[in-house]
Amino acid sequence: MEKYDPPEEFQRLLSALADDTLSDEQDRRLAEILLSDANARSYYLNFISMLTSLHWKYVEAAAPQDAVQSAPQGNEFSGSARRSWMRSALGGVAAAAVLLACAYLLLGWSTPVTIPDARQPVASISRIEKVMLANGAPAFATGDRIYAGRLQFASGEIQLQFSNGAILSASGPAELDIESEYSVLLNSGRVRVHAPPSAIGFSVRTEASRYVDLGTDFGVAVNDDQSSEVHVFDGMVLARPTGSEQVVPFMKQEAVRIECERGGMFSIAADATLFPRQWNFAETAVSTSRHAAQEPLPAGARVVYIGRWDTDRGVHLHMISEVLAQLPESRRPRLFNAGNSVPLFFDETHLERFVLPLKPTHAVIEFGPHISSKGELYDAPPKFEKALDRLLCTLKEKGIEPILRTGFRACETESSKKDYCEAYYRVIRTLAGKYGLRLMDVAAHFSALPDKGESLLLENHMEPTFEGSREIAKVELAALGYPELTIPQQFTFNPLPGIIREWRCRIRPTAEPLSAEEVAQIQPDAAWLTLQLPQADDAILQRSIVKWHSYVHRARAQGYAFAPNYDPKKSVEAVGYVDSEGEGDAYINTGGSLRAVWLNGIKILDDRKTFAWHPGRDRISVRLKPGRNTILVEAMSNYFLSVTPDCDWDSNAQKSE
């Protein structure tokens, strides 16, 4: 066939069709074109085929790889569905694929999908309301881990989130045996199950029947006479009476009662009101973070962020602080960046020097891709667990509530480290559950993205892109208790408070430290360059459509000085001036590749070991003299320096200019 160039009008009609915005009039016009032109029909069918493939591909990619175990070759449903039509599609048959994959459920119908590991929790409590044990004692708490075994309670409502993403709500009195993350035996009571694609194959057994979910929403009840009922609210459920060969699918808004002994099936009316309350599916589906909804941080919270490169760059912190700025100041937590200033497993010295002076109430420990990268691989997960446990205890002893974050790189990108990486994340989740900590499960969130978040990482795979930072910020905001706040698409970066607007600088032919003699003789002259801050973007960056995606743009806009040194064997010396009306206390905030600072000829900082880059990585308390104060800086290339009166240098203080 000759190449067919679809006319503009036809293209637009197809686009409207793909966007679900095709009007009846447009539909009629589209039909006319299709009826009159065989080439257009051919193109149209190819287009629809592509649209469907796109759905399938993105939906497949969104499913956790281990959601379906040992799926058969050529199975189009090894993935999952997230849109409603896909859900129904999967409801019809993908589950059958799962059932085939699992070999026995459909035809053999007796073997559980997974064999539970008694040492691993299979679910956690994501919501709990007035649950009392049979003996009247209060039971469980949000975040508690649930292991395979019996769950029995007299009253109240409980919601479990299984590690495969299934959510089960139960209202008391109820007795259920959690058999695995894919199987529950309901002895008495009522449960409602929402199984996202990753949990297809989740089954609820009763004495009378077994119900297998096919990516759906349904309720199961066990009546006093041991008959059971299934009510399907969305998707499809397969039912098989105990001891029977008969397998019957039930669709949306259908319900059936199955007798215990004879296996008789009787159609009844589906009734959602008979089952525990419905949770927010959308929230659960979009955010795969496996942690409970959190209360907002308490008033007066001071949160210090400890992490590595991405924390240090602080892009997601900037986003979070922009969003939190919407809150009244009294309820707005203050965020402090200590990224890369201390090792993740810092000791008492680090704690004293970098963390405690910030007087934090909370500390976010951000694990990133470095968790499994060269030089930072803790040689065995048990050792990692021990070290992390110790760190958490230290923080708690100091009255600081730890918050844990998993890394943003999908483990499988580094296959040799995959096992460790996943084991580390499991440790983080387990400890968060053990101590009831807030958990920012960025790893789970990224894993659920269509490409596992690969497109949200920079080439070095160690830092997120700007969009990647948005995703991280989204997860973190939810864990901090502000899931309702949305992150804007556009950002403006302004000069941070106290920057010195003009610097004189020159490139030194060596990277050796400045000697005292050199410092004494420094006197900028006409040969020195002048840097005016904030520096404008260079010509190439100005061409960029979305400038704030560039860290150079962001840093320049915030008041970093970019001196033109690109040779690691050379360095930069720069002089700036601060005029003070009288003698007074102040803080000098540093960042970038700055290595040493002199105030009025006296060295006040010499730190050549730090890898931290963020503004305020060092805060030096100084006393300014009346009149002109001279500040000399030695740096490798770019640097940040500001002088502020406030003893805090947090997200609020950084907006105060």
Partner 1 sequence: MAEDSADFVRELIQSQRRLYAFIFSLMRNSKDAEDVFQETNLVLWQKSAEFESGTDFLAWAFRIARFQILAFRKKRTRAREYHDENLCALLADQALQKLGELDARHEALGHCLNELRPEIRTLLARRYEPGASVNNMAQDFNRSPKAISEMLRRARIILMECIERRLALEGR
- Between residue 215 and residue 244, which ones bind partner 1 under the rule CB under 8 A? 236
Q: Mark the segment that binds partner 1 (CB under 8 A) among 7-15, 374-382, 391-399, 642-650.
A: 7-15
Residues between 71 and 130 with contacts to partner 1, criterion CB under 8 A: 72, 74-77, 82-85, 88-89, 91-94, 96-97, 99-100, 106-107
**Could you give the CA distance from residue 396 to residue 398 in angstroms, rounded to a whole number?**
5
Q: Which of 133, 251, 293, 604 binds partner 1 (CB under 8 A)?
A: 251
Nearest alpha carbon to residue 593 among 615, 619, 620: 615
Q: Which of 456, 480, 499, 599 binds partner 1 (CB under 8 A)?
A: 456
Q: Are 214 and 247 in contact (CB under 8 A)?
A: no
Residues between 17 and 76 with contacts to partner 1, criterion CB under 8 A: 17-22, 24, 27-28, 30-31, 34-35, 38, 41-42, 44-59, 62, 72, 74-76
Q: Which of 157, 187, 242, 249 binds partner 1 (CB under 8 A)?
A: 249
Minimum distance from CB of 182 to partner 1 (Å)?
A: 19
Minimum distance from CB of 412 to partner 1 (Å)?
A: 17
Minimum distance from CB of 21 to partner 1 (Å)?
A: 7
Is 505 in a helix, a strand, or coil? strand
Can you say whether residue 140 is alpha, beta or left, with left for phi > 0 and alpha for psi between -120 and 50 degrees? left
529 burial (CB, 10 Å; 0-12 / 13-18 / 19+) is: middle
**Could you give the CA distance from residue 32 to residue 546 in angstroms, rounded to a whole number?**
42
- Tokens 């100005």 found at: 542
Q: Are 128 and 157 in contact (CB under 8 A)?
A: yes
Q: Which of 7, 9, 12, 494 binds partner 1 (CB under 8 A)?
A: 12
Minimum distance from CB of 487 to partner 1 (Å)?
A: 9
Q: Does 315 bind partner 1 (CB under 8 A)?
A: no
Residues between 270 and 299 with contacts to partner 1, criterion CB under 8 A: 282, 285-286
Q: Which of 7, 15, 111, 564 binds partner 1 (CB under 8 A)?
A: 15
Minimum distance from CB of 283 to partner 1 (Å)?
A: 10
- Tokens 């085929």 found at: 49
Structure tokens at 160: 């479990």
| DSSP secondary structure, 433-458, as one string | HHHT-EEE-HHHHHHTSTTTTGGGB-
Who's near 3: CB < 8 A, 6+ residues apart?
A: none
Q: Closer to partner 1 by CB, 288 or 642: give it.
A: 288
Q: Mark the segment that binds partner 1 (CB under 8 A) among 116-124, 186-194, 245-253, 527-535.
A: 245-253
Q: Closer to partner 1 by CB, 20 or 397: give it.
A: 20
Count of CB atoms within 10 A of residue 590's CB? Answer: 26
Minimum distance from CB of 240 to partner 1 (Å)?
A: 13
**Could you give the CA distance from residue 148 to residue 177 in angstroms, rounded to a whole number?**
7
Q: Are 553 and 493 in contact (CB under 8 A)?
A: yes
Minimum distance from CB of 89 to partner 1 (Å)?
A: 6
The separation between CA 145 and the C-alpha centre of its own chain, rounded to angstroms, equals 20
Q: Closer to partner 1 by CB, 118 or 541: give it.
A: 541
Bridge-based pairing state of the strands 438-440 and 561-562: unpaired
Q: Are 96 and 247 in contact (CB under 8 A)?
A: no
Minimum distance from CB of 464 to partner 1 (Å)?
A: 12
Element (H, E) at 62: helix 38-62
φ and ψ of 39, to 5 deg? -65, -40
Minimum distance from CB of 367 to partner 1 (Å)?
A: 24
Q: Closer to partner 1 by CB, 28 or 119: give it.
A: 28
Residues between 483 and 502 with contacts to partner 1, criterion CB under 8 A: 488-490
**Could you give the CA distance from residue 143 to residue 129 in angstroms, rounded to a whole number?**
13
Q: Closer to partner 1 by CB, 76 or 538: give it.
A: 76
Minimum distance from CB of 450 to partner 1 (Å)?
A: 4
Spell out, one character per residue from 132 to 151, where the chain touches partner 1: x when CB under 8 A holds, - when not.
--------------------
The separation between CA 287 and the C-alpha centre of its own chain, rounded to angstroms, equals 8
Q: Closer to partner 1 by CB, 252 or 570: give it.
A: 252
Who's near 78: CB < 8 A, 6+ residues apart?
A: 60, 63, 68, 71, 97, 101
Q: What is the DSSP letter of 415?
A: G
Q: Closer to partner 1 by CB, 298 or 488: give it.
A: 488
Q: Mark the segment that binds partner 1 (CB under 8 A) among 16-24, 122-130, 159-167, 219-227.
A: 16-24
Q: Are 562 and 556 in contact (CB under 8 A)?
A: yes
Hey, what amino acid is at 598?
A: W
Q: Closer to partner 1 by CB, 28 or 374: give it.
A: 28
Minimum distance from CB of 350 to partner 1 (Å)?
A: 37
Minimum distance from CB of 27 to partner 1 (Å)?
A: 5
Nearest alpha carbon to residue 413 among 82, 79, 56, 65: 65
Residues between 414 and 453 with contacts to partner 1, criterion CB under 8 A: 449-451
Minimum distance from CB of 68 to partner 1 (Å)?
A: 12
Q: Closer to partner 1 by CB, 121 or 165: give it.
A: 165
Structure tokens at 106: 């459909």
**Could you give the CA distance from residue 534 to residue 499 in angstroms, rounded to a whole number?**
9
Q: Closer to partner 1 by CB, 42 or 494: give it.
A: 42
What residues pair up with 178 in beta bridges, in sequence order? 149, 184
Minimum distance from CB of 443 to partner 1 (Å)?
A: 18
**Could you give the CA distance from residue 290 to residue 444 in angstroms, rounded to a whole number?**
7
Q: Closer to partner 1 by CB, 448 or 653: give it.
A: 448
Q: Mark the segment that binds partner 1 (CB under 8 A) among 15-23, 272-280, 354-362, 596-604.
A: 15-23
Residues between 609 and 628 with contacts to partner 1, criterion CB under 8 A: none
Nearest alpha carbon to residue 381 among 443, 410, 423: 423
Q: Closer to partner 1 by CB, 255 or 400: give it.
A: 255
Q: Closer to partner 1 by CB, 296 or 450: give it.
A: 450
Q: Closer to partner 1 by CB, 320 or 388: give it.
A: 320
**Could you give the CA distance from residue 228 to residue 266 in angstroms, rounded to a whole number?**
11
Minimum distance from CB of 233 to partner 1 (Å)?
A: 14
Q: Are 408 and 453 in contact (CB under 8 A)?
A: yes
How many residues line the site for partner 1 (CB under 8 A)?
77
φ and ψ of 126, to 5 deg? -100, -15
